């Protein structure tokens, strides 16, 4: 199971990013656990300077704007 964290204040882009992750994981048949991190101190500690940020299995893979679906597929495989 992939552990995915979405870093952001809970804005529309953050919600869309979470939905995209779940949709891509479902399409790929990958089990994911998605945690939303909204605490600004934790977001900064993770090194996210622009939200939404995405970490997969503890590694920050994206920050700022909506992720590309092709990249999401690669991160979740």
Query: What's the pLDDT band for 29 if we cut at 50, 70, 90?
Result: very high
Check residue 19 and give its pLDDT. Answer: 97
Catalytic residue among 11, 44, 49, 74: 11
Residue 11 annotated to the active site: yes
Query: What's the pLDDT band for 48 if we cut at 50, 70, 90?
Result: very high
Q: Identify the structural domains of the chain with CATH numbers, from first to last.
A: 2-68 (3.40.30.10)
Backbone angles phi, psi at 54, to 5 degrees: -130, 130
Record the pTM.
Answer: 0.95
At which residue do the structure tokens 């934790």 appear?
Answer: 42
* Mean confidence (pLDDT) of the chain: 96
Query: What's the pLDDT band for 51 if we cut at 50, 70, 90?
Result: very high
Query: What's the pLDDT band for 42 if we cut at 50, 70, 90?
Result: very high
Catalytic residue among 14, 21, 24, 72: 14
């Amino acid at each position: 199971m992939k552990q995915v964290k979405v870093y952001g204040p809970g804005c529309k882009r953050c919600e869309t990013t979470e939905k995209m992750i779940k949709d891509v994981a479902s399409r790929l048949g990958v089990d994911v656990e998605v945690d939303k991190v909204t605490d600004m101190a934790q977001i900064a500690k993770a090194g996210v300077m622009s939200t939404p940020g995405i970490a997969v299995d503890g590694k920050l893979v994206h920050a700022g704007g909506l992720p590309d679906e092709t990249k999401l597929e690669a991160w979740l495989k």
